[in-house]
């Protein structure tokens, strides 16, 4: 199958490569893009903060990513250990390898078993009115972790970063989008007794402790570091350049004095998609220099675009995404029209050879949303054997997503301004396992 790269995509990739090469070599680099159409053959995956592109429709090679990023693989023993500690079966997103990698998870579990529990921190950059299916994944998993370990959670809305990154958005608008997104997050069923959600634009100006941690982090990071880590360039705004410290600060418990009092020793576990790792590599570098535990991380894969796993679902490309505001009919149409199929061209051929689940988007989406392992195994067998047709697996997905999204919309309607205010008020959170720090 011949794959077509749009000029825009190729241009964007080349730009990113030039920037990254320049940053690494600290010199101007050029790339010959008169590549005679051979670009695809030599093309390697790119995973940066701004671009995620796989080499082909099988999606990102996550083993390669683990090697490149220097993080660790999650394996069976982690799943068994989590089950043993929490007394709950591992989440299907763990079993399916959606959460596939970590940094220092073992150390975090060691502390937990010794009676020193962690808090959870995750976040969201509000760049669109509505969140899409892919945005839900880290929150669904975070909610599982929160309930399994019975620990508090802080959720950062990086409305300030989105304002820096989006030329035409005002801070008032990113702030508003943030609040819209918070409603979607709350609708997933978080509990206000141990969940604090905050907008940077609101919270930084209302928390001296948070700002004091930000400046401590900012002093430890140079322009050279953010250039090498994120590919920032000299024409970037000083807001964008300084922002990584704002994303780092919630990993340190003293940023939340209402929640953790004067403690500096409560460790932090961050569930997030793997493209956020650069932020937290910097955070982990800085942590011991300013007297904090390094945060631990647990990483997810990307949620693929409808058009195929070569790119991730993106709110800025509506046809690539199923939004949480979509109607049942929109969901049906988008899946039938856009979802990249691993099915064969004719029914006869499909019945003989079966579908290719390595590239089939409906199959991949089902792995995210079908909890039942037996059912999933059945679908796999039927589809690979050719018993289940491409249209049938799409129908299966439609029948799962339509009620899932509709139920989300119903729950979201219940998120009033009062509920929003309750979650977003800085306050003490329930944290039953937390022991007093050891006296010297």
Choice from 9, 55, 148, 242 touching a copy of itself (CB under 8 A): 242
Between residues 99 and 163, which has the closer beta carbon with respect to a copy of itself? 163
Applying CB under 8 A, does 171 fall inside the site for a copy of itself?
Answer: yes
* Gap between the Cα atoms of 377 and 375, Å rounded: 5
Residues whose CB falls within 8 Å of the CB of residue 95, separated by 6 or more in sequence, listed in order:
79, 373
Per-residue string for binding with a copy of itself, 192-211, x by CB under 8 A? ---------xx-xxxxxxxx
CB of 118 to a copy of itself, least distance (A): 25
Q: How many residues bind a copy of itself (CB under 8 A)?
A: 39
Applying CB under 8 A, does 236 fall inside the site for a copy of itself?
Answer: yes
Applying CB under 8 A, does 222 fall inside the site for a copy of itself?
Answer: yes
> Do 161 and 246 form a contact (C-beta atoms < 8 A)?
yes
Applying CB under 8 A, does 234 fall inside the site for a copy of itself?
Answer: yes
Between residues 99 and 423, which has the closer beta carbon with respect to a copy of itself? 423
Q: How is 294-336 classified by DSSP, letter by letter?
A: PPEEEEE-PPEETTEEEEE--TTSGGG--BTT--HHHHHHHHH
* Gap between the Cα atoms of 137 and 291, Å rounded: 32
Applying CB under 8 A, does 134 fall inside the site for a copy of itself?
Answer: no
Q: Which of the stretches 12-20, 31-39, 49-57, 157-165 binds a copy of itself when contact is defined by CB under 8 A?
A: 157-165
**Strand, coil or helix: 180:** helix
> Do 289 and 262 form a contact (C-beta atoms < 8 A)?
no
Q: Which of the stretches 100-108, 233-241, 354-362, 409-417 binds a copy of itself when contact is defined by CB under 8 A?
A: 233-241
* Gap between the Cα atoms of 269 and 251, Å rounded: 8
Between residues 240 and 395, which has the closer beta carbon with respect to a copy of itself? 240
Between residues 123 and 342, which has the closer beta carbon with respect to a copy of itself? 123
The per-residue b/e assignment along 274-291, b for 16 or more CB within 10 angstroms, e otherwise, is bbbbbbbbbbbebbeeee
Nearest in space to 217 (alpha carbons), one of 238, 194, 242, 235: 242
CB of 16 to a copy of itself, least distance (A): 18
Applying CB under 8 A, does 223 fall inside the site for a copy of itself?
Answer: yes
Between residue 276 and residue 335, which ones bind a copy of itself under the rule CB under 8 A?
none
Query: Are β-strands 46-47 and 72-73 bridged in parallel, bridged antiparallel, or unpaired?
Result: unpaired
- Neighbouring C-alpha atoms within 13 Å toward the C-beta of 193: 7
Applying CB under 8 A, does 241 fall inside the site for a copy of itself?
Answer: yes
Binding site for a copy of itself (CB under 8 A): 160, 163-164, 171, 201-202, 204-212, 215-216, 218-224, 226-227, 232-242, 244-245
């Amino acid at each position: 199958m011949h794959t077509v790269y749009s000029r825009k995509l190729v241009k964007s990739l080349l730009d990113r490569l030039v920037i990254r090469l320049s940053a690494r070599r600290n010199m101007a680099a050029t790339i010959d893009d008169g590549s005679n159409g051979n670009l695809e053959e030599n093309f390697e995956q790119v995973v940066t903060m701004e671009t995620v592109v796989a080499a082909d429709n099988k999606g990102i090679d996550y083993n390669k990513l683990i090697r490149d990023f220097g993080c660790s693989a999650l394996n069976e023993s982690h799943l068994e250990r989590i089950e043993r500690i929490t007394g709950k079966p591992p989440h299907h997103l763990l079993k399916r390898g959606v959460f596939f990698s970590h940094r220092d998870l073992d150390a975090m579990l060691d502390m937990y078993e010794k009676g020193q529990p962690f808090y959870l921190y995750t976040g969201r950059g509000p760049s669109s009115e509505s969140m899409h299916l892919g945005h839900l994944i880290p929150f669904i998993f975070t909610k599982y972790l929160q309930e399994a370990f019975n620990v508090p959670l802080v959720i950062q809305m990086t409305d300030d970063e989105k304002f820096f990154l989006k030329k035409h958005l005002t801070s008032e608008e990113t702030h508003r989008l943030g609040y819209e997104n918070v409603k979607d997050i709350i609708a997933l069923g978080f509990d206000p007794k141990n969940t604090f959600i905050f907008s940077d634009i609101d919270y930084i100006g209302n928390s001296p402790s948070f700002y004091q941690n930000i400046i401590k982090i900012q002093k430890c990071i140079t322009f050279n570091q953010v250039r090498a880590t994120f590919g920032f360039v000299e024409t970037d705004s000083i807001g964008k350049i300084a922002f990584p410290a704002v994303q780092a600060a919630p990993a340190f418990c003293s940023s939340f004095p209402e929640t953790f009092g004067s403690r500096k020793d409560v460790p932090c576990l961050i569930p997030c998609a793997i493209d956020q790792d650069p932020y937290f590599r910097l955070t982990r570098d800085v942590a011991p220099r300013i007297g904090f535990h390094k945060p631990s991380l647990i990483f997810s894969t990307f949620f693929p675009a409808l058009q195929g796993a070569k790119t991730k679902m993106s709110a800025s490309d509506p046809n690539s995404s199923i939004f949480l505001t979509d109607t049942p009919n929109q969901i049906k149409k988008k899946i039938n029209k856009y979802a990249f199929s691993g099915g064969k061209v004719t029914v006869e051929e499909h019945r003989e050879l079966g579908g290719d689940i390595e590239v089939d988007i409906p199959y991949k989406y089902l792995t995210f949303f079908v909890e039942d392992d037996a059912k999933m195994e059945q679908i796999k067998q039927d589809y690979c054997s050719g018993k289940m047709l491409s249209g049938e697996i799409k129908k299966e997905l439609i029948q799962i997503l339509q009620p899932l999204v509709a139920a989300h919309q119903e729950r979201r309607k219940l998120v009033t301004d009062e509920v929003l205010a309750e979650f977003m008020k800085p306050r003490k959170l329930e944290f039953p396992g937390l022991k007093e720090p050891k006296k010297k």
